[in-house]
């Protein structure tokens, strides 16, 4: 792992870097390496360097979903290798992996971050086993807890991710397509747009300490948050809707983001979950990210679901929204307001 590259990517000093690396589970890495070698016949001597070209990963997903990556490039140039990674991620989506369990190409290829890749592969192995494969059992996830309100969700959101919260086993529909229901307990009140303090639950999924998360989020610019808050409220015609909350708290459930997408391009997101359970809130964020892709945003412009849900990388969230706001100017039928 390149300490310099990771430090540049996440704004960490050497001490914070060592703390984060100390949380990385080398035993799980070795277990996943053994599983990949068994399924593909490939020899892996170093986890990230051997997998970042995408060749072994594409061969792996083709084993379980034949033909999902029809053309695997073995060229050594960066463009072709990143294309392999993108194809692997696309195949994982087709195979049914939930969006919040997938790494970002830029995290693995440019930033040399092994944890997102390990999370994705743990989830893939668990998903393979759930389909009846003879693959070695994956680490056990927490047992799902029953929810008082559940809703039918896409197949892609039914597999549990190693870093996700427990998910209900059999969700049922409670929200009509293309209809947003108001929750009596969640009337938005207007937020301090300049507040950037994350909540205490940040980073729990990947073992990040509060100190590390604070350093990551230190790159946030209050003026960007203020401008985005004002723009989102203007688009939704809900002035002052975010008062009393930080920017991350306001967006945490994904409801505001889904409403934003549907206001700019109606019908993009068919269902918006108003329930307060983590499962449905993560699904909202996933649907927002799918909406961003349909608008044409690049993978490098997207954040991971847990980066918003746990507020552990609000810098990526803000950058995504700035790019999304700029792109909204090109959406047919949307006449503003625009940002900048």
| pTM summary value | 0.50
Domain shared by 19 and 65, yes or no = yes
152, 171 contact by CB (below 8 A): yes
81, 52 contact by CB (below 8 A): yes
**36: β partners:** none
Distance, CA of 264 to CA of 183 (rounded, Å): 22
pLDDT of amino acid 58:
96
Domain shared by 159 and 90, yes or no = no
pLDDT tens digits, one per residue of 326-338: 999 999 999 989 9
Domain shared by 18 and 91, yes or no = yes
Domain shared by 203 and 313, yes or no = yes
Residue 49 — pLDDT band, cuts 50, 70, 90?
A: very high
Domain shared by 167 and 312, yes or no = yes
User: Which has the closest alpha carbon to 222: 244, 191, 250, 194?
Assistant: 194
Domain shared by 114 and 180, yes or no = no
Would residue 232 count as lying in a domain?
yes
Domain holding 18, by residue range, is: 3-130
Would residue 217 count as lying in a domain?
yes
Residue 53 — pLDDT band, cuts 50, 70, 90?
A: very high
User: Which has the closest alpha carbon to 253: 187, 301, 200, 193?
Assistant: 187
Strands (E), the chain: none
Would residue 86 count as lying in a domain?
yes
Residue 66 pLDDT > 90: yes
Domain shared by 173 and 119, yes or no = no
Would residue 136 count as lying in a domain?
no
CATH number at residue 98: 1.10.418.10
């Amino acid at each position: 792992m390149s300490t310099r590259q990771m430090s540049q990517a996440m704004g960490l000093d050497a001490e914070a870097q060592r703390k984060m690396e100390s949380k990385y589970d080398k035993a799980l890495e070795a277990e996943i390496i053994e599983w990949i070698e068994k399924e593909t016949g490939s020899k892996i001597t170093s986890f990230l360097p051997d997998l970042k070209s995408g060749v072994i990963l594409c061969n792996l997903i083709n084993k379980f979903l034949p033909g999902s990556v029809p053309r695997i490039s073995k060229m050594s140039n960066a463009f072709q290798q990143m294309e392999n990674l993108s194809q692997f991620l696309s195949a994982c989506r087709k195979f049914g992996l939930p969006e919040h369990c997938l790494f970002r190409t830029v995290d693995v290829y440019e930033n040399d971050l092994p944890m997102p890749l390990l999370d994705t592969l743990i989830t893939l192995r668990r998903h393979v086993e759930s389909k009846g494969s003879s693959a070695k059992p994956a680490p056990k996830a927490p047992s799902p807890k029953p929810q008082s309100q559940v809703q039918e969700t896409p197949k892609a959101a039914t597999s549990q991710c190693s870093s996700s919260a427990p998910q209900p086993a059999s969700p049922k529909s409670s929200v009509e397509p293309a209809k947003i229901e108001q929750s009596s307990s969640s009337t938005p009140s207007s937020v301090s747009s300049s507040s950037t303090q994350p909540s205490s639950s940040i980073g729990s999924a990947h073992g990040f300490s509060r100190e590390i998360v604070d350093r990551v989020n230190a790159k946030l610019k209050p003026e960007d948050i203020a401008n985005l808050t004002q723009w989102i409220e203007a688009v939704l015609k809900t002035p002052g809707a975010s008062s009393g909350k930080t920017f991350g708290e306001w967006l945490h459930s994904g409801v505001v983001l889904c409403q934003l997408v549907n206001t700019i391009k109606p019908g993009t997101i068919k269902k918006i979950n108003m329930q307060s359970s983590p499962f449905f809130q993560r699904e909202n964020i996933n649907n927002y990210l799918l909406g961003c892709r349909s608008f044409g945003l690049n993978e490098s412009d997207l954040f991971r679901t847990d980066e918003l849900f746990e507020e552990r990388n609000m810098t990526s969230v803000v950058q995504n929204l700035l790019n999304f706001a700029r792109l909204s100017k090109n959406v047919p039928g949307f006449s503003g307001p625009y940002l900048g």
